[in-house]
């Protein structure tokens, strides 16, 4: 169950980061409230996931998946450019995340 909660936390992390860029383009108080709300949800879910997972494992998976997800989301939603070398390093990040998950004690 902790892994499922962590997956939801990763999703909210990606939404949070992408909503920051979106809110900056819209520039209304309503748009600015979205990342604030998502940050509370995101941190709460991460804390809940850490009840059943080692903090380092949960944080590594959360940040790694979040970073890769934000890069992909930025490409799809905002037309952000990613070079071939950046894509290779993203792949290394994914390898690290998979390894962390495979060898996690929980």
Residues 6+ apart with CB under 8 A from 1: 52
């959360």: which residue's tokens? 62
Closest by alpha carbon to 87, among 68, 65, 63?
68
More confidently predicted of 104 and 33: 33
Per residue in 57-106, pLDDT tens? Answer: 999 999 999 999 999 999 999 999 999 999 999 999 999 888 888 887 75
Task: State the burial class of residue 105 (Cβ atoms within 10 Å of its Cβ: 0-12, 13-18, 19+).
Answer: exposed
Please state the pTM of the whole predicted model: 0.86
Q: Which token pair is 25?
A: 């383009």
């Amino acid at each position: 169950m902790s892994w499922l909660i962590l997956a939801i936390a990763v999703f909210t992390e990606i939404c949070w980061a992408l909503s920051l860029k979106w809110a900056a383009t819209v520039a209304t108080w309503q748009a600015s409230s979205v990342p604030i709300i998502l940050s509370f949800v995101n941190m709460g879910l991460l804390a809940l996931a850490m009840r059943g997972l080692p903090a380092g494992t949960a944080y590594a998976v959360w940040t790694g998946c979040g970073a890769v997800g934000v890069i992909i989301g930025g490409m799809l939603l905002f037309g952000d450019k990613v070079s071939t070398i950046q894509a290779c390093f993203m792949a290394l990040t994914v390898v690290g995340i998979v390894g962390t998950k495979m060898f996690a004690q929980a």
